[in-house]
């Protein structure tokens, strides 16, 4: 019934470190890039104002550095994704190539929007994240394994404990994170239930 939705037990890929606390959704995707009909193409505008100056010249930012262009695991600090509830933020990161985010903490709505895209948001303490970010700088081609089921992050010879919200972990590992696909795959049952409801005009 839910075969269309992949189970996400783990994510493996190279990393990109984006440092700083309280990086909000407007920094992740500035509002002027949200005037789109679809989310296609948003990836190129991720962190745009942090990556480019007013003359569109590149600034110093990890998303501009060639060694991180194929990275799929984002390592961040505290309260990442705070600010507005715009779903464009995780959409932009996903379209840039991010499959998982490991950080100190996440804004709740941002984490929920990530879950709707199948992107795990995994937390660990400050020292653990700083060590991971430094390792990524030193090993940009090194693989990071984010185990959602076991709640661990492995890089090089190091495995650290991490935390995945229980509801998120179940949704990802059981393949029930995409609520739109779930409704489509259960369209008959949804229609049948709607027909039973006295307040739904079918």
What pLDDT is recorded for position 59? Answer: 96
pLDDT of 2 higher than 70: no
Give the residue among 38, 33, 65 at the shortest CA–CA distance from 137: 65
What pLDDT is recorded for position 176? Answer: 86
Mean pLDDT rounded to a whole number for the chain? 89
Kindly report, residue by residue over 90-121, the tens digit of the pLDDT. 999 999 999 999 999 999 999 999 999 999 99
pLDDT of 180 higher than 60: no
Rounded to 5°, angle at Cα 149 from 144 and 152: 40
Residue 156 to residue 135: CA distance in whole angstroms? 9
What would the two tokens of residue 150 be?
A: 């076991």
**Segment among 59-63, 180-184, 189-193 with least mean pLDDT:** 180-184
SS3 for 84?
coil
Rounded to 5°, angle at Cα 44 from 154 and 116: 55
Which residues, listed in sequence order, are joined to residue 154 by a DSSP beta bridge? 145, 159
Residue with tokens 């989310």: 39
Better-predicted residue by pLDDT, 148 or 84? 148
Q: How confident is the model at residue 183 (pLDDT cuts 50, 70, 90)?
A: very low
SS3 for 118?
coil
What pLDDT is recorded for position 188? Answer: 59
Kindly report, residue by residue over 18-46, the tens digit of the pLDDT. 999 999 999 999 988 877 656 778 899 99
What domains does the chain contain, in order, with CATH numbers?
Answer: 10-175 (3.20.19.10)
Percentage of the chain exceeding pLDDT 70: 85
């Amino acid at each position: 019934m839910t075969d269309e939705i992949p189970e996400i037990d783990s994510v493996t890929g190279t990393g990109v470190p984006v440092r700083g606390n309280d990086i909000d959704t407007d920094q992740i995707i500035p509002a002027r890039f949200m005037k789109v009909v679809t989310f296609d193409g948003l990836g190129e505008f991720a962190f745009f104002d942090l990556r480019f100056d007013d003359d569109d010249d590149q600034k110093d930012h990890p998303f501009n550095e060639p060694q991180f262009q194929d990275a799929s695991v984002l390592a961040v600090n505290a309260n990442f994704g705070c600010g507005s509830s715009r779903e464009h933020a995780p959409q932009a990161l996903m379209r840039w190539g991010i499959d998982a985010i490991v950080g100190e903490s996440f804004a709740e709505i941002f984490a929920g929007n990530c879950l709707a895209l199948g992107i795990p948001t995994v937390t660990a303490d400050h020292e653990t994240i700083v060590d991971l970010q430094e390792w990524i700088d030193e090993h940009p081609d090194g693989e990071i394994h984010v185990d959602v089921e076991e709640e661990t992050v492995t890089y090089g010879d190091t495995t650290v404990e991490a935390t995945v919200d229980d509801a998120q972990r179940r949704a990802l590992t059981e393949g029930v994170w995409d609520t739109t696909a779930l409704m489509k795959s259960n369209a008959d049952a949804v229609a049948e239930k709607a027909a039973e409801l006295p307040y739904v005009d079918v």
